[in-house]
Amino acid sequence: MALPIEDYAIIGNCETMALVGRDGSIDWLGMPRFDSAACFAGLLGTDEHGHWRIAPQEPVTRTTRQYRGPSLILETIFETAEGSVCVTDCMSRRDHSADLIRCVKSLSGRVTMCMDFVARFDYGSAVPWVTRIDDQSMRDQRTQYVVGPDRLILDSDVAVTNKDMRTMAIFTVAEGDEVNFCLTWSKSYHKPPARIDIPAALTAIETFWQEWTAGFRYTGQWPEAVLRSLITLKALSHWETGGIVAAGTTSLPEQIGGPRNWDYRYCWLRDTTLTLYALMQSGFTSEAAAWREWLLRAVAGNPEQLQIMYGIAGERRLDEWEIPWLPGYENSAPVRIGNAASGQVQLDVYGEVMDALYLAQHLGLPCDQAAWNLQIALIGHLATIWDKPDDGIWEMRGGRQHFTHSKVMAWVALDRAIRTAEEFSMPAPIDHWHELRQTIHDDVCKHGFNAKLNHFTQAYDNTHLDASLLMIPLLGFLPADDERVIGTVAAIERNLLREGFVLRYDTAGSGDGLPAGEGAFLACSFWLADTYVLMGRIDEAQSLFEKLLSLCNEVGLLSEEYDPALKRQVGNFPQAFSHIALINTAFNLAQSRSGVAGPAAHRSKRPAHPRKHSAVRA
């Protein structure tokens, strides 16, 4: 059975990602892209569905892990009665190939190690054709594994044996000894790539991360947690396309044993724009230009065909299907590939996109006429659909409703469009946009607020609560001291808190067609801390933030949710949404303590009273 989710760390090459367990086993890996069919799928099944374990053969008395400085080079130290070893794991990429490097170094004594390698392509279903690559000039072992167009080559410093459809090696390391392994993916019809120079690759990887993190900008009291979250977000981005995936895995359950298991290895417009926001306010602005180009390609064409998510290169067809041969993480079935939510209508993505593009220009991204033309087209389409029901931020599958958060985000889209046009002198139908922004605001206040209950509701004219309502003050729709906001926060505290953490909504009454139950949603818990900051409840905000930080595993990673009853992380891992929220709350707290407004202030800034403008009009 797979380890608890929080017992995994990640390694990656800004193209794909692997999950490495505390026991030295890599239980999840798809090559060459995040969304490629996994060749190690033991995370969602058993060892026989693919894994690669390197660990001491004798019992381990203590395991410690850390990343080498600000990088994705993972170092795991195993201590035994006979000695200790360090296993270093990382990933790199070359032209038309990708490499996963594992280095074993003895630190003390003599330790017998076991290497157990099981490759199963196509999510654990396809047993590869295994052969040796003969090269008399090379003293190392080269074994290749082929299924159709995909090939893996395992390079080893020690002799390996192939038996019972697995590759194994038993070897002993004494103090100072080093044994290296490298797994390389390439196309099976290409010439096998040469073995990588491992010391040079390690140096290049470390240098890359040192140079990238040199632009880090944060002056608060949690720099390590913020920087690790930023590195995680960068790891979820694709170096070539500019796309940013929501998580590195599929089908890790929101409730252990439950059916809320989704594929998150795609680019949600919402998650991507929020990722971009976190990166930009931390000093990493080059990603903004790459994402804007990705956006223009992904949504090209008719704005009526805007999707909430796309593939890593902007692919539109993300058909959802189930894998019957994988039992799921701790028997949480079904295992799903693809995501049917790609066909949903979610009005909030318009607001997220417009908000991110507005902030990007504030942080120095040059104005681009093609991007502005896209924004005008999106606002034009939004004007025709904002008053229609949608599927909402949480992608419920129980039918469309007039979700309050969706309408608020439609207002945000108009608000940011107006600000962009006015502050950067862009041609636009300013007067019409002002009128529409006010119309949406009035509509939300009339139908989204329940005066008897004294709080905003999940959807128009109902009584349910939703943690997304916390975005009302955070995005500047209403000030934090508005009585309606105060009432809504109080209602969320009464009804959606579980041991101090925030549920998205009450799944028992959601009507989404799935059994009730899921963990507390970590991003929503950070949103509550952000709201406390705006309300001047700084000590409460910091207390909640530090409580959330304590949920990070020892290498600083968070999944999507936390189960307070089981005291375990649940949901896909690592989750961009959680790390985005961590970064933003850390900045909000730092700004509240310093009294200096930063980029986050643009989001909660209230617009001026509507008036006639002399700005350039389309």
What are 164-215's pLDDT values in tens digits?
899 999 999 999 999 999 999 999 999 999 999 999 999 999 999 999 999 9
Give the distance from CA 310 to its chain's centroid.
Answer: 14
> How high is the pLDDT of residue 613?
33
pLDDT digits (tens, 9 = 90+) for 317-356: 999 999 999 999 999 999 999 999 999 999 999 999 899 8
The predicted model gives 125-151 an average pLDDT of 85
pLDDT confidence of residue 512 = 54
Residues 6+ apart with CB under 8 A from 285: 279, 360, 363, 364, 365
Q: 220, 69, 213: which is closest to 584 by C-alpha? A: 220
The C-alpha atoms of residue 10 and residue 397 are separated, in whole angstroms, by 31
DSSP run (H or E) holding 421: helix 404-423
Bridge partners (DSSP) listed for residue 76: 65, 87
Per-chain mean pLDDT for the chain: 92
Give the pLDDT confidence score for residue 364 in this predicted structure: 80
pLDDT of the residue at 66: 98
What residues have CB less than 8 Å from 280, skipping those under 6 apart?
A: 287, 288, 359, 360, 363, 599
**Residue among 40, 72, 44 nearest 555 (CA):** 72
Instruction: Report the DSSP beta bridge partners of residue 231.
Output: none
Q: Indicate the pLDDT class of residue 511, thresholds 50, 70 and 90.
A: low
Go through 451-483 and write b for each residue having 16 or more CB atoms within 10 A of its CB, e for each that does not. Answer: eeeebbbbbbeeebbbbbbbbbbbbbbbebeee
pLDDT of res. 569: 97
Angle between helices 223-235 and 269-281 (to 10 degrees): 140
pLDDT higher than threshold 70 for residue 231: yes
pLDDT of 174 reads 97
Say which DSSP state 2 is in. Answer: P
Which residues fall within 8 angstroms of residue 208, CB to CB, at 6 or more apart?
none
For the residues of 269-335, what is the DSSP string, one character each? HHHHHHHHHHHHHTT--HHHHHHHHHHHHHT-S-GGG--SEE-TTS------EEETT---GGG---E
Question: What secondary structure does DSSP assign to 128-171, as a single string?
Answer: PEEEE---TT--SEEEEEEETTEEEEEEESS--EEETTEEEEEE
Domains of the chain: 5-191 (2.70.98.40), 241-604 (1.50.10.10)
Instruction: Work out the average pLDDT over 250-259.
Output: 96
Binned at pLDDT 50, 70 and 90, residue 293 comes out as confident
Buried b or exposed e, range 70-102, using 16+ CB within 10 angstroms: bbbbbbbbbbbebbbbebbbbbbbeeebbbbbb
pLDDT band for 287, please (50, 70, 90 cuts).
Answer: confident
**Section 408-420 average pLDDT:** 97
Least confident span in 92-101, 109-118, 227-236, 267-276:
267-276
Q: How would you class 305 by CB atoms within 10 Å of its CB: exposed for 0-12, middle for 13-18, buried for 19 or more? A: exposed
Provide the angle, in degrees to the nearest 10, between the axes of the packed helices 430-447 and 404-423: 160
What pLDDT is stored for residue 296 in this prediction?
Answer: 85
**Distance in angstroms (rounded) separating the CA atoms of residues 460 and 445:** 10
More confident residue, 300 or 533: 533
Peptide bond into 253 cis (omega under 30): no
Say if residue 604's pLDDT is above 80.
Answer: no
- pLDDT score of 146: 98
Side-chain-facing half-sphere of 351: CA atoms under 13 Å:
23
Smallest CA-to-CA distance from 424 within 356, 349, 475, 365 is with 365
Report the amino acid identity of residue 199: P
Extract the tokens encoding 187: 């196309």
